[in-house]
Amino acid sequence: MSRGSFVFTPTALRSLQLDEDMLERHKYRKQLSSHHFNGYMLKKEARDRALLRTSTALPPAVCHDLVIQNALYTGDLEAMQRLFPRGSTANFIIEPQGGDMRWVASGDGLWSLTYEQELTTPLHITADRGFTDCLRLLLQRGANVELAPGGTTALHEACESCHPECVKLLLSHGANANAVSEDGLMPLHVCTDPESLECAKYLLQYGAAINGRSLEEDDTPLHVAGRNGLADHTELYLRYGAAVDKQNDEGLTPLNAACSQPQELHELERYFKVCQLLLEAGANVGTLDQDKHSPLHMACKNVNADLVDLLLAKGACVNDMDYGGEAPMHNILKVVCYKISHKPERIVRALLNYGSIRVWPGALPMVLKHCCGSPRTIEVLLNAYSQLKVTDTWVEAVPPEVFKKHQEFYESLFSLAQTPRSLQHLARYRLRSFLEGRVHKVVPKLILPTFLKNYLLLEYRGYVH
Nearest to 120 by CA among 144, 91, 96: 96
Burial class of residue 284 in the structure, from the number of CB atoms within 10 Å of its CB (0-12 exposed, 13-18 middle, 19+ buried): middle
Distance CA 102, CA 171 (A): 35
CA dihedral sign of residues 325, 331, 333, 334 = positive
Contacts with 381 (C-beta within 8 Å, 6 or more apart), sequence order: 333, 348, 352, 358, 359, 364, 367, 371
Strand, helix or coil at 2?
Answer: coil
pLDDT given at position 398: 96
Distance (Å) of CA 318 to CA 54, 327, 331: 59, 7, 12
- The maximal CA–CA distance of the chain, rounded, in angstroms, is 95
Strand, helix or coil at 239?
Answer: helix
Q: How many CB atoms lie within 10 A of CB 230?
A: 27
Distance CA 200, CA 171 (A): 12
DSSP state string for 304-365: -HHHHHHHHHTT--TT---TTS--HHHHHHHHGGG-GGG-HHHHHHHHHHTTPPPPPGGGHH
Q: How many CB atoms lie within 10 A of CB 201?
A: 19
- Cβ density class 231-254: b for 16+ within 10 Å, e for less: bbbbbbbbebbbbbebbbeeebbb
Distance CA 345, CA 374 (A): 8
Per-residue pLDDT of the chain (465 residues; tens, 9 = 90+): 444 444 445 554 445 444 555 555 555 455 444 444 444 444 444 445 444 444 444 456 777 778 888 888 889 999 989 888 887 777 778 876 655 555 655 556 666 655 556 788 999 999 999 999 999 999 998 889 998 888 899 999 999 999 999 999 999 999 999 999 999 999 999 999 999 999 999 999 999 999 999 998 999 999 999 999 999 999 999 999 999 999 999 999 999 999 999 999 999 999 999 999 999 999 999 999 999 999 999 999 999 999 999 999 999 999 999 999 999 999 999 999 999 999 999 999 999 999 999 999 999 999 999 999 999 999 999 999 999 999 999 999 999 999 999 999 999 999 999 889 999 999 999 999 999 889 999 999 999 999 999 999 999 999 999
Rg of the chain taking only CA atoms, in angstroms = 30
Could you tell me if 312 and 354 are in contact, meaning their C-beta atoms sit under 8 angstroms apart?
yes
Strand, helix or coil at 115?
Answer: strand
Which amino acid, one-letter code, is at 436?
E
- Cβ density class 307-319: b for 16+ within 10 Å, e for less: bbbbbbebebbbe
pLDDT given at position 145: 92
Beta-carbon-side half-sphere exposure of residue 423 (alpha carbons within 13 Å) = 0
- The domains located in the chain, with CATH, are 1-100+115-210 (1.25.40.20), 364-465 (no CATH)
**Spacing of C-alpha 255 from chain mean position:** 10
Strand, helix or coil at 92?
Answer: strand
DSSP state string for 158-210: HHHTT-HHHHHHHHHTT--TT---TTS--GGGG--SGGGHHHHHHHHHTT--T
Distance CA 369, CA 371 (A): 6
Could you tell me if 366 and 334 are in contact, meaning their C-beta atoms sit under 8 angstroms apart?
no
Could you tell me if 425 and 383 are in contact, meaning their C-beta atoms sit under 8 angstroms apart?
yes
Contacts with 204 (C-beta within 8 Å, 6 or more apart), sequence order: 188, 210, 236, 240
CA dihedral sign of residues 412, 418, 424, 429 = positive
Q: How many CB atoms lie within 10 A of CB 19?
A: 14
Dihedral class, residue 152 (left if φ above 0, else alpha if ψ from -120 to 50, else beta):
beta
Distance CA 186, CA 211 (A): 11
Element (H, E) at 129: helix 122-129
